Amino acid sequence: MGENTLAIEIRGLTKAFRGHLGIGRTTVVKGLDLEVRRGEVFGLLGPNGAGKTTSIKMMLGLLRPDSGSVKLFGRSPRDPQARAMIGFLPENPYFYDYLTASEFLDFYGRLQGLAGANRRRRVNETLRRVGLAGHENVALRKFSKGMIQRVGLAQAIQHSPELVVLDEPMSGLDPVGRREVRDLILNLRDGGTTVCFSSHILQDAEMICDRVAILKQGTRIAAGSLNELIEPTVRWFEVSVRGVQADLLQAEVVSESADALLVRVTDAEHLARLIEAVKVHGGDVVSVWPRKDSLEDFFLRQVREVRDVS
Amino acid sequence: MSRGSTTMVLLVAVALALSAVSGTRLERLAGVRVESQELLYLPNGDYLKAASLGQAPFLADVIYLWAIQFYASYEREDRFRYVEHIFGSVIVTLDPHYIDAYWMGAMILSVEAHDIDGALRLLDRGMERNPDNWMLPWIAAWESYHSGRLEDAVHYFDVAANIPGAPDSVRRMKAGLLGKTGDTRKALELWLEIYNDDETDDRSRGIAERQVRRLKHRADIEDLSRIIADFVARTGRRPTSIEELVEAGDLYSLPLDFDGQPYLYDPLTGVANVADGSLFRD
Amino acid sequence: MSGGLESTRRLPRIDAAIRAIALNTFREAIRDRVLYLLLVFALILIVVSQLLSLLTVGDEEKIIADMGLSAISIFGVLTAVFIGVSLVFKEIERRTVYTLLANPVRRWQFLLGKFVGLMAVLLMNVVLMSIALSIVLVLRGQPPWDLVPALFLITIELAVVTSFALLFSTLTNPILAAVWTFASYVAGHLAWSLPLLRDKVTGTIGKWVCDAVYAVMPHLHRLDIKADAVHGLPLPDGYVWMAALYGVSYAAVILLLASVAFERKDFNR
């Protein structure tokens, strides 16, 4: 079990479910290959129904794959030793609402093998870390959705696992909440923890992932680091201009408001000419926003290709 | 996972073996139990026991309570037809040790329905299932005696006397002590001994009280009838009341029943009776 | 805080995990209106015991003891079934089982924890109701000690019923699981009729089938010594312990089957 062992290694993973009344079979995950390296933040991406949650459940031993293999640090997820190294937060978690936050974490701490004073200490530390200090003795049924999410995260990290798996951790959160989750994930990575999370919101992944895999309808249609997948070059510029009339500029107008125009130009050369034109006509360039290819653009392209091919 | 499944198989085998062995031993031990689980081949007892799903004794109680209420209401003419079935079959199939059911049923049969054979059959069944109980043969003995079945009485007295734990008075009542005359008084005397004995347990005392009450009324009425007959022979007319007999000196004092109530007398017929002779009073 | 030292990760001690889940189960079950049933039972007992003195001719204490034992038994079975069948189902439904099993807890420990938790609730019920019954009896001058063996075996019987409830709870939804569990209870109390049937059946195959079915069914009637207890009848030496051993080992078999079923289960909600 060397230091080079992959955190998660998936080969040829396949899972099908029987339909209603045993009629028909839907293959939810088809021959998935995946590698998550130690210490990275990995995003498992794709639209709803792509098989992300099913794959995660197989990673944790909650489902048996029909074929293929899953290994956590080289061990099967059915091995408790493997599960001792991970923390998990499911999507839309529900917890025993009659417990207080610290009772809840204490319960999980016992299951995680934390003992006595050490457990108490970790519970309190983790509550502080996720911003729930002062809510130790509040019953979970009084928690807001954001707070539930935080206590769920606390449960996933309090035992300092090597790998944290999160299923749609940012769903249903407001921008502040999402920011906090992103920060926590980066914080974990800085501490040496591997993080694997799934999301259908590609922008979130773009901001924090080191590597991603994109699933669609049970198959992996792309995987790699962001740099590998997306052109780092600027695709176009969006320029906000004031004081000039639209028809005077030889550029595509994206939108027009009372005092400003949003104009689009395709490269640096056209940008320079636009700025010149604005100066000539006595206007102001308010802002220039270089737009790169986004993950979403990449994904949509992939989907279109796949559709064309099929 | 293979090592896990071998452990699992091993554990299942051990648990199965354990339950099989203990189960068989349990069957053997259960055969020795005093309670006999043979069923009478009459539908109701069977079905009720099956339907009761392990709550049979409680169901026996419910039916017993109902039966008491039913028989205490002097309504229907044909109600005695089912006494033996209800008490002797249904209730005791559900709970063969329900002593109350045996003797109460027998009392109803004997006192109300005048069916001595039925009463004795019921008591026999009770004795069969409860060989340690001395009260049942004791009651059977007196029932036989009061109806003139002396041989049966002697037999039952023997049975009662031979049961360990029977009180002295029972044991003294072996064959040969019975005469034709004054026998109600004799029976009363012996039941009274049991009633007054400190050693008697509460339940037996309760039964004894019923017997004493009944026998005292009977004995008193017998005496009263005799005295009234003497009076008629002497004066040529019936007395107007029992008080008149006291004034005339035929009676020492006004006779009272077990509950301290005076006896009733009807001057027209010349018959004395007890104020409240209900079998079911508590 | 790097991620090394995998092989020295401490797993939870087996009893610690089971105890944690058992305690959690206990706390959850406690909130399940069970306590109100107890209150109702205690009140009924007190009222009835006074009414009975007006109704009966004969031994009132017998009726009270019978009624008490039957009520403890019936309420126990109802509690075991209605809480037991939803124990596993609720966790799956609410997906709390996901976070739970993502931890280094083995599935059989989860099941055993549920069992212990529910048995703790049932035991508490039996004890409280027994105390109420004892108080009523003692006030009437009847010591309740003879009832203890019957209460003991009632608890064993409840263990068997609970194990069935857990088994079916892992296999199907609560309604069907309740039906199946009740069916097992009924079968257990009708088992005594099989040897009788055997006598009436002709042919060795028929007899063999009767023997086989009888051997497999839970002999709940052997755990029922209410009549003996109320009448103070002596039981054969070692009967109570043998019956307890039988009940416990039978429940163990059912729980093991439940573990196997649960081990193989896919959670795809």
Which residues on chain C are in Cβ contact (under 8 Å) with B53?
A: 185-186, 189-190
The Cα angle at residue C38 between residues C37 and C41, in degrees rounded to 5: 85
pTM: 0.74
Reported as type and span, the H/E element at residue B6 is helix B2-31
* A71-128 pLDDT tens trace: 999 899 988 889 999 999 998 888 888 899 999 999 999 999 888 888 999 999 999 9
DSSP string, B144-179: HHHTT-HHHHHHHHHHHHHSTT--HHHHH--TT---
Instruction: Say whether A191 and C1 touch across the interface (CB within 8 A).
Output: yes
**Across residues B28-43, what is the average pLDDT?**
46
Answer yes or no: are the C-beta atoms of C83 and C32 closer than 8 Å.
yes
To the nearest whole Å, the CA of C30 is away from the closest chain B CA by: 27
* Most confident region among A260-269, A291-300, C4-13 by mean pLDDT: A260-269
Enter the tokens of residue B128: 């069969």
Which residues on chain C are in Cβ contact (under 8 Å) with A54?
A: 268
* B139-175 pLDDT tens trace: 898 888 888 787 788 788 888 888 887 777 776 665 4
Q: Secondary structure of chain A in the HEC alphabet?
A: CCCCCCCEEEEEEEEEEECHHHCCEEEEEEEEEEEECCCCEEEEECCCCCCHHHHHHHHCCCCCCCEEEEEECCECCCCHHHHCCEEEECCCCCCCCCCEHHHHHHHHHHHCCCCHHHHHHHHHHHHHHCCCCCCCCCEHHHCCHHHHHHHHHHHHHCCCCCEEEEECCCCCCCHHHHHHHHHHHHHHHHCCCEEEEEECCHHHHHHHCCEEEEEECCEEEEEEEHHHHCCCCEEEEEEEEECCCHHHCCCEEEEECCCCEEEEECCHHHHHHHHHHHHHCCCEEEEEEEEECCHHHHHHHHHHHHHHHC
DSSP annotation of B133: -
* C117-171 pLDDT tens trace: 999 999 998 998 888 888 888 888 888 888 999 999 999 999 999 999 999 999 9
CA-to-CA separations, A255 to A245, A282, B224, in angstroms, rounded: 12, 20, 127
To the nearest whole Å, the CA of A223 is away from the closest chain C CA by: 24
Neighbours of chain A (3+ CB pairs under 8 A): C
pLDDT of A107 reads 93
Place of tokens 């069969």: B128
**What is the Cα–Cα distance from B63 to B96, expressed in whole angstroms?**
14
Which residues on chain C are in Cβ contact (under 8 Å) with B95?
A: 227
pLDDT of A256 reads 82
To the nearest whole Å, the CA of C266 is away from the closest chain A CA by: 5
* B248-259 pLDDT tens trace: 888 888 888 888
* C50-84 pLDDT tens trace: 677 666 667 777 778 888 888 888 888 988 998 88
**What are the residue boundaries of the structural domains of chain B, listed by start?**
167-282
Contacts of B251 (CB under 8 A, 6+ apart): B227, B242, B245
Lowest-pLDDT range, A92-96, B67-71, B254-258, B270-274? B67-71
Average pLDDT, chain A: 86
pLDDT of C90 reads 85
Give the three-state DSSP class for B120.
Answer: helix
Cβ-based interface (< 8 Å): residues of B facing C: 8, 11-12, 15-16, 18-20, 22-23, 25-27, 29-30, 32-35, 37, 39, 50, 53-58, 60-61, 64-65, 68-69, 95-100, 104, 203, 206, 280, 282
C230 touching B (Cβ < 8 Å): yes
pLDDT of C245 reads 95
Nearest CA in chain A to C103: A83
Nearest CA in chain C to A194: C3
Mutation for C interface: B53, B213, B281, most C CBs within 10 A: B53
pLDDT of C252 reads 95
* A240-253 pLDDT tens trace: 888 887 777 777 88
Question: Which 14-33 residues of chain A touch chain C by CB within 8 A?
Answer: 17
pLDDT of B73 reads 60
Average pLDDT, chain C: 85
To the nearest whole Å, the CA of C217 is away from the closest chain B CA by: 11
pLDDT of C182 reads 93
Partnered with residue C22 across adjacent β-strands are: none
A53 touching C (Cβ < 8 Å): no
Enter the tokens of residue A174: 């407001």
pLDDT of B280 reads 62
Contacts of A285 (CB under 8 A, 6+ apart): A239, A240, A241, A275, A278
**Across residues A189-196, what is the average pLDDT?**
93
**Across residues C210-229, what is the average pLDDT?**
88
